[in-house]
Chain A
């Protein structure tokens, strides 16, 4: 069980990360700030049940934020995601097996893809974008992402791979526009 001051100190270390995730979920700065605040209040109320171990508080806070957001969504009957998937059913998604052509690009100019990549990320489905954030920005393992988002690890892999395939394909199109041609794919 955490002391109040210890809880504040540990939990507030992750304010920026929580705000990033809240922004990805809500896409509205004001709502993101409200969601972060509510997450900390819920965490404070439940802090007696939290057992300090390793870096677990970050995942725990992410889980509270994620659940708080989807509880609100349910209450307000908004539907930003495929609800059946969120509620834990095994995803019907199949893992895309084909390799993106981008893997075979001899040269890829990463210096100039930011805008293209950003707009491609913005167009992803909410659950793909949040999974991508937890993986790419927060550096979490598949297992941790599965625990936070409340889905099986296979669904996390599926979401990640689908999102990355979409982004890679977008980047391939971009490279085509720039006149850089990929070679033959190796395992399609």
Chain B
């Protein structure tokens, strides 16, 4: 690392220069061994202490550093990680052109339409101003009247659900006991009919589409789940080639009145579309949530479900 790299502390930072004279001798000896002790302080220390003692401490600390380096150096990253990172970066670059429309942007477009209408209306002439004012006042009264009964933000439920499924995916992929406790059908040899029966038992008899099995994934487990918005089922898939992809979770939920605002074909994305990647979409009476940590896996799953509709950020 370059020795000139000495960023100025941020304003308000509680960082401050070290007062070496107030540091214990042991601390100054370690700093000396690390070549971090300023020259003047090093001279003072050498004047204060026996040269042999300094040499012993210096020798030990340098050896300890080498020992730590030897014990903590885990060597090269696993094979395949470089390619995985490169693939993810390529997917990111391609995805940047997709141009998802944030929900707030869509909401913000409504007043814009009203403003345009207003401008054209007011240009009709001053004679109409009184009528317009009366209509505007009536509109304000009408809008204000129900304000005591707060209207829930429909997308907020989906955002909460997206957060929930991310946590469930993360927990089940990393914590074996959590997976075992949740996934009551972790038998990879279970037939599709068995799985379909389990899913029906959990969320009712719905036209559920299971497409990841044909996209390079193996179903690892199925379990009941309580995604906000209704009873759900969680399917955890593992890639057949773990070097190029990561596990994917699919959560299936029976659409309720809380999902009425969702449009068939629209793909809802969580937050800034960073890991964990979450996609939510609706197909008639079924709401799907897909979660994965890997953008390449996300693309694969999107392709499997032919998610090519409009994209909206939650």
**A interface, CB within 8 angstroms of B:** 4, 8, 12, 15-16, 18-20, 23-24, 28-31, 33-34, 36-38, 40-42, 44-45, 54-56, 58-59, 76, 88-90, 95-100, 102-105, 108, 110, 113-114, 117-118, 121, 132-133, 135-137, 139-144, 146-147, 152-154, 157, 160-161, 164-165, 167-168, 171, 186-187
Known interface pairs A97-B27, A104-B56; A16-B75 also in contact (CB < 8 Å)? yes
The answer to whether B275 and A34 have CB atoms under 8 Å apart is yes
Can you list 27 residue pairs at the A/B interface with Cβ under 8 Å?
Answer: A15-B81, A24-B72, A30-B173, A33-B77, A34-B293, A37-B85, A37-B88, A37-B294, A41-B88, A56-B5, A88-B14, A95-B23, A95-B26, A99-B26, A103-B57, A104-B56, A117-B71, A133-B68, A136-B72, A141-B3, A142-B31, A142-B34, A146-B15, A152-B14, A153-B18, A160-B30, A168-B60
Q: Name the B residues within 8 Å of A113 (CB-CB).
A: 67
* Cβ-defined contact, A114 with B67, below 8 A: yes
B64 touches A114 (CB 8 A): no
User: 1/0 per position for B67-108, CB-CB distance to A under 8 A?
Assistant: 111111111111001101110110011000000000000000
Contacts of B56 in A (CB 8 A): 103-104, 186
Chain A residue with minimal CB distance to B27? A95
A114, B132: Cα distance in complex, Å: 84
Chain A residue numbers with a CB within 8 Å of B29 are 99, 187
Q: Mark B1-31, 1 if CB is under 8 A from A, else 0.
A: 1111111000001111010000111110111
Complex Cα gap A89–B13 (Å) = 10
* Interface majority SS (helix, strand, loop, mixed), chain B: helix
Interface residues on B, range: 35 or more
Taking CB as reference atom, which chain B residue is nearest A23? Answer: B74
Q: How far is the CB of A6 from chain B (nearest CB, A)?
A: 13
Cβ-defined contact, A99 with B25, below 8 A: yes
Task: Give chain A residues whose Cβ lies under 8 Å from the Cβ of B93.
Answer: 4, 44
Question: A12 touching B275 by the CB < 8 A rule?
Answer: no
B25 and A38: CB pair below 8 A? no
Cα(A161)–Cα(B36), bound, Å: 13
- Interface residues as binary, B26-63 with A (CB distance below 8 Å gives 1, 0 otherwise): 11011100101000000000000110010011001101
* B239 CB-CB contact with A under 8 Å: no
Is B174 close to A, CB under 8 A? yes
With A19-B77, A164-B30 known as contacts, the answer to whether A152 contacts B15 (CB < 8 A) is yes
Interface residues of B (CB under 8 A from A): 1-7, 13-16, 18, 23-27, 29-31, 34, 36, 49-50, 53, 56-57, 60-61, 63-78, 81-82, 84-86, 88-89, 92-93, 167, 170, 173-174, 246, 274-275, 293-295
Knowing A161-B27, A161-B30 are in contact, say whether A76-B167 is a contact too (CB < 8 A): yes
A31 to B34, CA, bound (A): 32
Main secondary structure on chain A at its contact with chain B? helix
Which residues of the partner chain B approach A157 to less than 8 Å between Cβ atoms? 18, 23, 27, 31
Given A15-B82, A121-B68, 9 additional A-B pairs, CB 8 A: A8-B86, A29-B78, A55-B2, A56-B2, A99-B57, A100-B26, A137-B72, A165-B26, A168-B64
Give Cα A154 to B20, complex, Å.
Answer: 11
Instruction: Assess A54 versus B2: contact at CB under 8 Å? Given A20-B72, A30-B174.
Output: yes
Residue in A closest to B19 when the chains form the complex, CB atoms: A154
A83 to chain B minimum Cβ distance, whole angstroms, is 16
Q: Which residue of B lies closest to A104 (CB)?
A: B56
With A8-B89, A136-B69 known as contacts, the answer to whether A143 contacts B30 (CB < 8 A) is no
For A54, give its contact among B5, B16, B246 (CB under 8 Å).
Answer: B5
Least Cβ–Cβ distance between B4 and chain A, in angstroms = 7
**Residues of chain B contacted by A102 (CB below 8 angstroms):** 60
